[in-house]
Amino acid sequence: MDNMLNLPIPLAKVRGTIIAARLAFVEQHWGRESRDYLINKISFRERRQLESIFFENHWFSLNTLAQIDHTITTELAIGNKTILHQLGRFSAEYNIGHFPTTLKRLSPIEMLKNAARFNVLLQDFGEIKFELLSANSEALGVALIYQYRMEVPLSYCLSAIGYFERLIELLGYKVIKVVEQPHSSPNNFTHRYEIWWQTTSILAEATAAAAIARKNHNLAIPLQITPQRQRETKTITITPKKKKRLLLKILSLLILLTSVYGLANWTLSLLYAATAEETQTAEYYYQCEGSLNLKLKLDLPYLILQPLEQWETARISMEEEGRSYCYQMETTMVNGRFEIGLGEFLDANSNALNIVAAPKKLSINAKVGKETRSCLCQLTKN
């Protein structure tokens, strides 16, 4: 782990949104030219992927991310490795919007218990275990143990500390500390992150402080109003000559705006035509047979579920590589459209589904009124 670059095996992948966060950070701190310089440092194949307007949903080699972090650290930050901590914090802010709404509403401890669910949305390697370290009225401590099959870059580990720190803050809590424990042996690819934070949310602390302030300050402070000076009015006379010039300028501006609008529509039509095939290949459709009335398709990495009747609860199950995964919906459902990330499917040991291909079969059981109904959905076409 002493080598900052330390390239892993090329099969490990990260989601394009992590790459996008790095590029946005560089542009924000060093400008557009530095961002373009960074892009030109990566391989031609990966560079071509960045040209797509959908690149944040694509998968990139972990080697590419390692190369980007290496360039940022050694060239742009001139060897300052603390920049990796800032990269991790920025990545948490950038990527939390990609999490399912159900995850973002959780408390920090529940969020980290479900780390496997958001992990699979961002990387396709590694398994995660959760461990509760301590819990009292003032602080909570947990450990996330990542088990990899290969050595990951040191830059990835250092940025993860900033990532977890900012993630807890975004959930509204004050972080005490985040540390990575050292490996027990050189060939041990286990990474253990220990995270502590205060149990009282920042919002709750601010509310309590405001209540105390109101109680201790009962004296009313008179409001001082400074009278405004009356503005002087000026009369502007528009001569026929000035009026003609003004009308010509307005007409020229309208012609210019019309031309720009037409050019923009033409450009967008070309973009939509160029990316139509790419968008189409990311969608898969399912034929569902059974007593449930629904529509189902897959827009990687999300299942798009549309029940055509009211469901009380639902359980969606699938099998991958001999292991069963399921997703449980506890809230009452009404007719509508629901997006479910593949990373939200868990096995019996709470390990998240880790695939980038479309599942061939899905079984759904739902409570409709007092009845429990089911159906089997099979992949038909894309």
What pLDDT, in 10s, does the model give residues 220-242? Answer: 444 443 444 555 555 556 667 67
Name the domain boundary from 204, 231, 250: 204
Q: Is the dihedral of CA 288, 292, 297, 298 positive or negative?
A: negative
Q: 190 with 64, same domain? A: yes
Name the domain boundary from 170, 189, 204: 204
Percent of the chain at pLDDT exceeding 70: 75
Residue 25, in any domain of the structure: yes
CA distance 135 to 87: 29
CB atoms within 10 A of CB 219: 5
Joined tokens for residue 165: 């720190």
Q: Do the strands 314-320 and 323-329 form a parallel or antiparallel pair, or are they unpaired?
A: antiparallel
CB 121 within 8 A of CB 185: no
pTM of the model: 0.55
Q: Do the strands 283-290 and 371-381 form a parallel or antiparallel pair, or are they unpaired?
A: antiparallel
ω into 301 cis (within 30 of 0): yes
Q: pLDDT band for position 29 (50/70/90)?
A: very high
Could you list the beta-strand ranges (E) of 86-161.
Answer: 127-135, 139-147
Q: Is the dihedral of CA 115, 109, 91, 5 positive or negative?
A: negative
CB atoms within 10 A of CB 14: 20
208 vs 239, higher pLDDT: 239
Q: pLDDT band for position 96 (50/70/90)?
A: confident
Residue 74, in any domain of the structure: yes
For residue 110, the enclosing domain spans 13-204
Joined tokens for residue 299: 């827009």
Residue 131, in any domain of the structure: yes
Residue 294, in any domain of the structure: yes
For 261-314, what is each residue's pLDDT tens digit? 666 555 555 554 444 444 344 578 899 999 999 889 887 667 888 888 888 888
CA distance 364 to 314: 7
CATH number at residue 118: 3.90.1520.10
CA distance 308 to 346: 26
Q: 197 with 302, same domain? A: no
Number of domains making up the chain? 2
Q: 54 with 144, same domain? A: yes
Query: For residue 334, what pLDDT is reported?
Result: 59
Name the domain boundary from 204, 227, 260: 204
Tell me the range of 63-77, 192-206, 207-221, 338-352 where mean pLDDT is highest: 63-77
Answer whether residue 141 shows pLDDT above 70: yes
